[in-house]
Amino acid sequence: MNGPVDRSKDNLLRIADVKARTKLGRTTIYRRIAAGTFPPSIRLSVGLVAWYESDIDAWVANPMGWRRPE
């Protein structure tokens, strides 16, 4: 079994960066999160969310095969 992922050196991306990298719109991103086919965001504070860059990179590398880890 794999240990916990070290996120200490992982950059955080805001929605504008995620949209630019994935070429998806905001609504599509949130629909895919709900469907489990896009990396979930993390809440930084009220009204402020971000995504781990490594998660977005993994999705961009294989958008049709990406699934939420069990």
pLDDT in tens, 4-45: 667 778 999 999 999 999 999 999 999 999 999 999 999 999
3-state SS of 24-69 is CCHHHHHHHHHHCCCCCCEEEECCEEEEEHHHHHHHHHCCCCCCCC
**Which structure tokens are listed for 3?**
């240990």
Given a cut of 50, whether residue 1 has pLDDT beyond it is no
| SS3 (DSSP) at 13 | strand
pTM of the model as a whole: 0.85
Q: Where are the domains of the chain?
A: 12-59
